Amino acid sequence: MASKSKVQIIQPSTDLRKRAVNFKTGFGVILSPQETQKLQLVVEKSSDQFTRQIGEKLKALREEFGALEDGEAPPLRLVERVVADALEIKGLGGTFKFPLLTQIAKSLHDYATQIREPNAWNTVIVGHHIDALYVVLAQRITGLGGRIEAELLKALRAASTKFK
Amino acid sequence: MAEKIDFSKVRFLIVDPNPLALQMLNDILSMLGANYVRRATDYDKAMDVLKEGNIDILITEREITPKNGIELVDYIRHDPSSRDRLLPVIVLTARSEEPFVVEARDHGANEFVAKPYTVDSLYKRLSAVIAYPRSFVSAPGYFGPERRRKQLPFNGTERRGVDPNAPKG
């Protein structure tokens, strides 16, 4: 049991609040719909940059995986790049109205993270994920897509579980 | 009359290895009115800025190198050379699964925002750390903001004291 003297409560610093919170200038403590919309425009402005940047990453990954021979395992450094890129896509997709990208990237990240000794199955499964991401981006499938996209995601997850 | 937050009075450090994520966060803060936003793409650069001081809020991705964002929180909360042990920290990360939320909380992060985020979710956390700062708890094995968010009636023995020498807000 913790003794009374060892657990202390420290009152919060109110310096920042005193400096920044007021009744005249700035954004509301709770955002109004207009303020939210204003901020949303900032995100939308970066949308083209996002599709370009992610498109380039996926293109490069596709080329590297495409260059592997049939039955060849991906080198570990390539797997590490997949892990990093998948996490990045997972983190950004939904913000730019591509939640399906986020979901596929999560599936890819979960799969690639557990690869210790790459094998030929990894090439196939990672390759399918990359192709799926590429298609979603190229076709500008915003939102979660429809039945086909849901089936695709389910298939990718099932394959990831089966072929480690 | 409703309270407002003047972000021109708030100094930010934002840390993310991804240039687009960093730029977007910077743009959102600029739109809010922030005109002091320091940026860092890795742990070491973030440390350089933290050691200079003059930061009011840190927003960091967990996945940074060579050490991670949680180790940055550890430095702030525990290192004797830390300029401000009470610095508000928001962990904004694509590592959004529950163990990472718990990890951030238990290491003393004030808020956690999962990527992909909406401007609304980010703003709520910003607003919380500025307008409604939480008390800190110093206990064996933990130093950081109060982890209990709801004030529920407690009928047990009060074992926590108030440190008369603790820094006052």
Domains of chain A, earliest start first: 48-162 (1.20.120.160)
CB contacts, 8 Å: A92 with chain B: 18, 20-21, 115-116
- Report the number of distinct structural domains present in chain B: 1
CB contacts, 8 Å: A50 with chain B: 20
Give the residue among B28, B122, B30, B120 at the shortest CA–CA distance from A33: B120
CB contacts, 8 Å: A10 with chain B: 86, 135-138, 163, 166-167
Please state, in angstroms and as integers, the Cα–Cα distance from residue B168 to each residue in A15, A70, A114, B142, following that order: 10, 66, 47, 19
Determine the pLDDT at residue B23. 95
**pLDDT tens digits, A13-44:** 899 999 999 999 999 999 999 999 999 999 99
List the single range of A3-12, A66-75, B8-17 with lowest mean pLDDT: A3-12
Determine the pLDDT at residue A4. 54
Determine the pLDDT at residue A159. 81
Q: Mean pLDDT over residues B24-48, rounded? A: 97
Could you report the predicted ipTM of this complex, rounded to two decimals? 0.87
Q: Residue B169's pLDDT band (boundaries 50, 70, 90)?
A: very low
With a CB cutoff of 8 Å and minimum separation 6, the contacts of B96 are: B114, B115
The minimum CA-CA distance between B78 and chain A, rounded to whole Å, is 15
Task: Give the neighbor-by-neighbor strand order of the sheet with A8-10.
Answer: B142-145, B136-139, A8-10, B161-162
Determine the pLDDT at residue A2. 46
With a CB cutoff of 8 Å and minimum separation 6, the contacts of B80 are: none
Chain centroid to CA B10: how far? 13
Question: What gap in Å lies between CA B112 and CA B106, rounded to an integer?
Answer: 11
Q: Are the C-beta atoms of B60 and B88 separated by less than 8 Å? A: no
Identify from B1, B30, B121, B123 which residue to disrupt to test chain A contact, counting A C-beta atoms within 10 A and taking the largest count: B123
CATH code at position B85: 3.40.50.2300
Question: What gap in Å lies between CA A104 and CA A128, rounded to an integer?
Answer: 10
Residue-number span of the structural domain to which B22 is assigned: 8-133
CB contacts, 8 Å: A43 with chain B: 24, 28, 119
Q: Is the pLDDT of residue B162 over 80?
A: no
Residue B125 belongs to some domain of the structure: yes
Q: Is the pLDDT of residue B46 over 80?
A: yes
Q: Mean pLDDT over residues A135-148, rounded? A: 86
Q: Residue B148's pLDDT band (boundaries 50, 70, 90)?
A: confident
**pLDDT tens digits, A83-127:** 999 999 999 999 999 999 999 999 999 999 999 999 999 999 999
Question: What gap in Å lies between CA B60 and CA B28, rounded to an integer?
Answer: 15
Please state, in angstroms and as integers, the Cα–Cα distance from residue B66 to each residue in A119, B44, B62, B71, following that order: 28, 8, 11, 10
Determine the pLDDT at residue A162. 78
Q: Are the C-beta atoms of B136 and B146 separated by less than 8 Å? A: yes
Residue B156 belongs to some domain of the structure: no
Residue A37 neighbours by CB distance under 10 Å: 11
Residue B120 belongs to some domain of the structure: yes
